[in-house]
Chains A and B, each alone.
Chain A
Amino acid sequence: MSIVILGPQRPEPNLKRAVERLGVEGKVAVVTAGWRHDENETAALEAHLGLPVTHLKLYAWFDEVLEAVPEVAAAYRDRQARIGRYKELYRLRLRAALGAVEALRERLPDDPELVEPELDRALSVVRDLDEEVLTRLDAIRMDTPELLAPWTHRSAADRFDEVRAALEDVDAICIAGGHVAVLLNRMQFFGLHRLLPRFVQRGGHVFAWSAGAMCLAGRVVLFYDDPPDGRGDAEILDRGFGLLPNMVFFPHGRRRLRLDDSERVARLAARFAPSACLSLESGAWLNPSGSVWRDVGSAGSILHLRQDGRVCDFEVVA
């Protein structure tokens, strides 16, 4: 499998070095849908790569489809609004469940023997809820069958074919960061999640960073420990593509997570175990190496958040 996970490409990009290391010399497809309105501003990325690029303009294509087919637009907006309303309910339940975990952790020193089983159960409730989100999202999507495989819809089929043809023509695909929900939705809308596994199987390389990396994991987790408003409860956005099912990525973890709060780190790591919670900083570079993953980026650019509350340099995940 040839998937390379990179950290944020600012301030110092390392995409080119990673691409060169894997010997990619031919065409490269690029997805920048996470940049939304700035999707087309790929000049700096193309200059950095120095290779011929096929730009898959999923963000613009999506808008074109919605403009051309009002019934698809209406169905899509209704579905997304329903998902939004459901997420509000999820957050209510999540806060209550996390509140119980926090309260029990505070009481743990008083009587560990008594409190620990309660704490385990409370954490299970959170983990169950995180699992339930995914099945609830599936159920909500089932209510809009015409959007279950939008890439087969006449309005998007041509673009799907274009993506498929592009992937047959390139040696690698780069998936940039940005707005993770937009990126994930647009890639799913045009069936990229269906095409990527085959692309990798036939020897294609995938380079993904920040939000792009998050989308390749089993679950996409939104996080911000110190928001201007609210408690900063990490939450499940959706399923990822499942290409890296045993990892959850936290780009800019040093800035966005309270890594010095061992209680918080422990809670986060336990919540998503057995997946490894990895913070990706600029310079991060995670390479496949046989059946394990190896950090070949700058020192300290990939941090492993552990269930004991420690934050360690990443080693390998089988």
Chain B
Amino acid sequence: MKAVLDLVRRIEAKPRSAREELRHFVEATSFPIVENDTATFFFWDDSPAEAVYLIHWVFGLESRQAFQRIRGTHAWFLALELPHSGRVEYKFEVHRGGGRALVRDPRNDQLARDPFGSNSVCTMPGYAIPPWTALETGVRPGRLESFEFHSGVFGGNRNVQVYLPCEYKPHKRYPLLICHDGSDYLRYAGMQPVLDNLIHRHEIRPMIVAFIDGHARNQEYGADPRQPKHVAEEVLPEMRARYGVSRDPDEIGVMGASFGGVASLFTAFSYPNVFGQVLLQSGSFLFTDVGHHDRGPLWDPVAAFVNQFRADPTRVKASRFYMSCGTFESLIYYNRSLVPLMRGAGLDVRFVEAQDGHNWIAWRDRLREGLTYLFPGHLWMYYD
């Protein structure tokens, strides 16, 4: 903020050289400007605009925050106090000529991709990209292959992408994790190098991961009874027929984020002795204590299921749960609420809150904690 205030003072002192000052400023500065716990966002393309807003997905902050114009210029800024380890995805909404455009921060190279495109990223001083997210030196990568099979549950063919650890041998039996939104986990959360690294470090056991995708995703994942049936009665047997998959329920896991979290919990709930490990990221666990919710009909079966789960959490027989949620998400309320309920019912739950939002990088950054909790390797013992 200080840097921008200094700039404003210089421009006010010499308004005629404002453009030159701005040019020097943007050339010499990285954006957004992060000083201690304040991030200052800056927009200047030397064209007039009526207004500029910061669009972000931080629950609790006004989601559309107005920039302030530096008098006599077409430059705009906004300072926000953010948590020390925070990571915020954002865009600018620029109002011009009666219209408005949503754009990424043109002066920030940090991007996060997701199925809808990409966002600019602001990281606070306490955030660091975990080193295990990119393939580490000397790591022998596993491989991805895929197969297609006919789903009687949904009708039509379904594709499964299968991660096999580098040491995979068909005669051996490995733990299996079935991952909802599999293509997105691979593409946007970089799950393959994460698995490679964690297996190489012996932080998790060598394991197989089945990456599956929904077709009518939101409907199928939103507590649709066909999805657990598909996972437990189609995907799992197909995997067992094709690969060396453990017979021990404790070595069979299911995971997902957002609605994929609902699908995962619903699957473990519907097939209680099949899935021993459950990994839930930012689960859309909407429930109602009384009356109705206001999120639309897509959420009706979700709320009905979560209400049912809350009434009897012990129906899920999983040995362990790992749950995470960002403190910038509205879903934090639902996730936080479930944890004491589940623990009170005797379930083994590790719950982690992140200073991040509802996005793929936040889910990537929690994979190490989640996978090592559910499928711990012999990291203290292995020196090969």
A20-28, A109-117, A166-174, A221-229 - the one binding chain B: A221-229
Chain A residues near B378: list those with CB within 8 A.
179
Residue in B closest to A251 when the chains form the complex, CB atoms? B383
Instruction: Tell me which of A11, A177, A228, A282 contacts B383 (CB under 8 A).
Output: A177
Complex Cα–Cα for A291 and B366 (A): 51
Inter-chain contact B372/A178, CB cutoff 8 Å: no
Inter-chain contact B203/A177, CB cutoff 8 Å: no
User: Quick one: CB contact mask for B111-152 with A, threshold 8 Å, 1 for yes?
Assistant: 000000000000000000000000010101000000000000
Residues A10 and B384 in contact in the complex (CB < 8 Å), given A228-B368, A229-B373, A282-B138: yes
Q: Does A95 contact B (CB under 8 A)?
A: no
Instruction: Tell me which of A37, A181, A282 contacts B381 (CB under 8 A).
Output: A181
Chain A residues near B172: list those with CB within 8 A.
37
Residue in B closest to A179 when the chains form the complex, CB atoms? B381
Residues A10 and B138 in contact in the complex (CB < 8 Å), given A228-B203, A229-B372: yes
Inter-chain contact A8/B380, CB cutoff 8 Å: no
Instruction: Tell me which of B368, B372, B373, B383 contacts A252 (CB under 8 A).
Output: B383
Residues A210 and B380 in contact in the complex (CB < 8 Å), given A10-B138, A11-B138, A229-B373: no
Chain A residues near B368: list those with CB within 8 A.
228
Chain B residues near A178: list those with CB within 8 A.
382-384
Q: In the complex, how many angstroms separate the beta carbon of A31 from the nearest chain B beta carbon?
A: 14
Q: Does A255 contact B (CB under 8 A)?
A: yes
Residues A211 and B383 in contact in the complex (CB < 8 Å), given A37-B172, A282-B138: yes
Inter-chain contact B373/A180, CB cutoff 8 Å: no
User: Quick one: CB contact mask for A163-201 with B, threshold 8 Å, 1 for yes?
Assistant: 000000000000011111110000000000000000000
Q: Does A34 contact B (CB under 8 A)?
A: yes
Q: Does A206 contact B (CB under 8 A)?
A: no
Q: Does B379 contact A (CB under 8 A)?
A: yes
Instruction: Tell me which of A37, A38, A227, A255 contacts B380 (CB under 8 A).
Output: A227
Residue in B closest to A220 when the chains form the complex, CB atoms? B383
Complex Cα–Cα for A37 and B201 (A): 18
Q: Does A214 contact B (CB under 8 A)?
A: yes
Complex Cα–Cα for A208 and B201 (A): 21
Chain A residues near B382: list those with CB within 8 A.
178-180, 211
Complex Cα–Cα for A37 and B383 (A): 16
**CB-contacts of A205-236 with B (<8 A):** 210-211, 214, 222-224, 227-229
Q: How many residues of A contact B (CB 8 A)?
A: 27
Residue in B closest to A230 when the chains form the complex, CB atoms? B380
Inter-chain contact B372/A214, CB cutoff 8 Å: no
Inter-chain contact A214/B379, CB cutoff 8 Å: no
B140, B167, B369, B384 interface centre (most CB from chain A within 10 Å): B384
**CB-contacts of A1-24 with B (<8 A):** 8, 10-11
Inter-chain contact A224/B379, CB cutoff 8 Å: yes
Complex Cα–Cα for A21 and B138 (A): 26
Inter-chain contact B138/A34, CB cutoff 8 Å: no
Q: In the complex, how many angstroms separate the beta carbon of B174 from the nearest chain A beta carbon?
A: 11
Q: In the complex, how many angstroms separate the beta carbon of A152 from the nearest chain B beta carbon?
A: 28
Chain B residues near A10: list those with CB within 8 A.
138, 140, 384
User: Quick one: CB contact mask for B201-228 with A, threshold 8 Å, 1 for yes?
Assistant: 1010000000000000000000000000
Chain B residues near A214: list those with CB within 8 A.
383
Q: In the complex, how many angstroms separate the beta carbon of B116 from the nearest chain A beta carbon?
A: 31
Inter-chain contact A228/B138, CB cutoff 8 Å: no
Chain B residues near A34: list those with CB within 8 A.
384
Complex Cα–Cα for A11 and B378 (A): 21
Chain B residues near A228: list those with CB within 8 A.
203, 368-369, 372-373
Chain A residues near B136: list those with CB within 8 A.
255
Q: In the complex, how many angstroms separate the beta carbon of B351 from the nearest chain A beta carbon?
A: 14
Instruction: Tell me which of A37, A210, A223, A227 contacts B384 (CB under 8 A).
Output: A210
Residue in B closest to A181 when the chains form the complex, CB atoms? B381
Q: In the complex, how many angstroms separate the beta carbon of A249 from the nearest chain B beta carbon?
A: 8
Chain A residues near B383: list those with CB within 8 A.
8, 177-178, 180, 210-211, 214, 251-252
Chain B residues near A180: list those with CB within 8 A.
381-383
**CB-contacts of B340-380 with A (<8 A):** 368-369, 372-373, 378-380
**CB-contacts of A144-174 with B (<8 A):** none
Residue in B closest to A234 when the chains form the complex, CB atoms? B380
Residue in A closest to B132 when the chains form the complex, CB atoms? A228
A38, A177, A228 interface centre (most CB from chain B within 10 Å): A228
Inter-chain contact A177/B138, CB cutoff 8 Å: no
Chain B residues near A181: list those with CB within 8 A.
381
Inter-chain contact B384/A224, CB cutoff 8 Å: no
Complex Cα–Cα for A93 and B192 (A): 39
**CB-contacts of A48-104 with B (<8 A):** none
Q: In the complex, how many angstroms separate the beta carbon of B117 from the nearest chain A beta carbon?
A: 32
Chain B residues near A210: list those with CB within 8 A.
383-384
Complex Cα–Cα for A224 and B140 (A): 20
Chain A residues near B140: list those with CB within 8 A.
10
Chain A residues near B203: list those with CB within 8 A.
227-228
Complex Cα–Cα for A11 and B136 (A): 13
Inter-chain contact A211/B379, CB cutoff 8 Å: no
Q: In the complex, how many angstroms separate the beta carbon of B196 from the nearest chain A beta carbon?
A: 14
Chain B residues near A211: list those with CB within 8 A.
382-384
Complex Cα–Cα for A23 and B210 (A): 50
Complex Cα–Cα for A159 and B378 (A): 28
Inter-chain contact B381/A227, CB cutoff 8 Å: no
Q: List 10 additional contacts besides A227-B203, A228-B203; criterion CB under 8 Å.
A: A178-B383, A178-B384, A180-B383, A211-B383, A223-B380, A224-B379, A228-B373, A229-B369, A255-B136, A255-B201
8 residue pairs, one from A and one from B, having the closest CB atoms? A228-B372, A211-B383, A177-B384, A251-B383, A210-B383, A222-B380, A179-B381, A177-B383
A-B contact pairs, 22 of them (CB 8 A): A8-B383, A8-B384, A10-B140, A35-B384, A176-B384, A177-B384, A178-B384, A179-B382, A180-B381, A210-B384, A211-B383, A211-B384, A214-B383, A222-B380, A224-B379, A224-B380, A227-B379, A227-B380, A228-B372, A228-B373, A252-B383, A282-B138
Mark B residues whose CB is within 8 Å of A.
136, 138, 140, 167, 172, 201, 203, 368-369, 372-373, 378-384
Mark A residues whose CB is within 8 Å of B.
8, 10-11, 34-35, 37-38, 176-182, 210-211, 214, 222-224, 227-229, 251-252, 255, 282
